[in-house]
Chains A and B, each alone.
Chain A
Amino acid sequence: MAMTLRDIINKLLRRQPASASTARERLQLVLAHDRSDLSTELLDQMRREILEVVAKYVEIDVDEGAVSLETEDRMTALVANLPIKRTMTGQIKLKEHKDQSEENSQETEGKDQNY
């Protein structure tokens, strides 16, 4: 999203942003919904199902996850913003798949033997 000098000053002074940018954002959101025939219920159902699928592979913050329709140049895109929880070391925390972790340990064992 483009930011102007005024937007930045308003942000620094913690003032409300100029209303044109609010209008632009609200319009883009409402038009994305107008242009697709998806009802909010269907969109919400889709959001939940997408979250479920992603949650199989990585640990995500379900409450923070958002799926929305964004629109530009009369093209509408489905945008999913899913914050992935990280481990203490900063790595992406993968869901533990039993099979995979066993394979991994076997591999390391094999390498050890080669030494």
Chain B
Amino acid sequence: MATDTRVILICSGKGGVGKTTLTANLGISLARQGLTTAVLDADFGLRNLDLLLGLENRIVYTAQEVLEEECRLDQALVKHKQESNLSLLPAGNPRMLDWLKPDDMKRIVDMLKEHFNYVLIDCPAGVEDGFKNAMSASQEAIVVTNPEVSAVRDADRVIGLLNTNAIKPVQLVLNRVRPKMMANQEMLSIDDVTDILALPLLGLVLEDEQVIVSTNRGEPLTLNSVNSPAAKCYLNIAKRLQGENIPLIDPAEESSGLGAKFRRLMQTKIF
């Protein structure tokens, strides 16, 4: 039985910014560090966490049957094939949304807390009931956003709600960073986003085609492709969560050569 379980909500407001991919990769990375980790798919409407983890064919029961006491928790949990420290609690039927209440989410999370070091909650997009249910069961949060106006705006809404519900700490993951575009000032910089949202940066994730390849296969990058740019970022984030002091990747360093030097010069703030 684990004490001091950390229950972390992974949310973004906007859809498609990388919540589920982050949840899957953080889950794998934490499990690799020897930490027992449960990932809970709180997106009952549009569940996908099972697919990204490659566990979609092994689901027998879901959170729904656990709540309705038709099965025990351990029967619903799907253990990962390669990382036995990682388990998935699948989302139930979308019809659950009709009756699911914050207390139901708390019940599920309380059950998970007895068995795991980490509980990562993959939050649905939006700021409606699905989000509020997931938030009610969480202690801390990671807000995922992209360096794009719509994603940052939605993240701001979510941060406001997290603050009023006393969720803390709230940390930021900036996903899909393109160093070259940032250097050309055609993408919001890391400072822009952290200044606007006023959150501590837990990490950034570089744009990486391998993410698509990994979702095609149902094998998170951190499982097999640990040398891909995004995988390194995810692993760093997991280590920082554990309190390790890992310096941030400087996107400007990612592009090298004379062109990059020139772009850095052009980025110099004059006043």
Q: Interface residues, chain A, CB within 8 Å of chain B?
A: 2-9, 18-21, 23-24, 26-28, 30-31, 34-35, 71-74
For chain B, the bracket of interface size reads 20 to 34
Q: Interface residues, chain B, CB within 8 Å of chain A?
A: 148-149, 152-153, 156-157, 160, 182, 184-189, 192, 195-198, 265-271
In-complex Cβ contact of B152 among A7, A21, A27, A74 (8 A): A27
Contact yes or no, A20 B192, CB < 8 A? yes
Q: Within the complex, what minimum Cβ distance (angstroms) separates A11 from chain B?
A: 11
Contact yes or no, B156 A4, CB < 8 A? no
Q: Within the complex, what minimum Cβ distance (angstroms) separates A8 from chain B?
A: 6
Contact yes or no, B270 A8, CB < 8 A? yes
Residues of A close to B160: CB separation below 8 A = 35
In-complex Cβ contact of A3 among B184, B196, B269 (8 A): B269
In-complex Cβ contact of A31 among B156, B184, B188 (8 A): B156
Residues of B close to A18: CB separation below 8 A = 184-186
Q: How far is the CA of A34 from the CA of B149 in the complex (A)?
A: 13
Q: A3-B271, A5-B267 are in contact. Are A23 and B188 (CB under 8 A)?
A: yes
Contact yes or no, B269 A28, CB < 8 A? no
Q: Which residue of B lies closest to A18 (CB)?
A: B185
22 contacts between A and B (CB under 8 A): A4-B267, A5-B266, A5-B267, A5-B270, A6-B267, A7-B270, A8-B270, A18-B185, A18-B186, A20-B186, A20-B189, A20-B192, A23-B148, A23-B188, A27-B152, A27-B188, A31-B153, A31-B156, A34-B157, A35-B160, A71-B196, A73-B198
In-complex Cβ contact of B186 among A19, A26, A72 (8 A): A19
Contact yes or no, B266 A6, CB < 8 A? yes
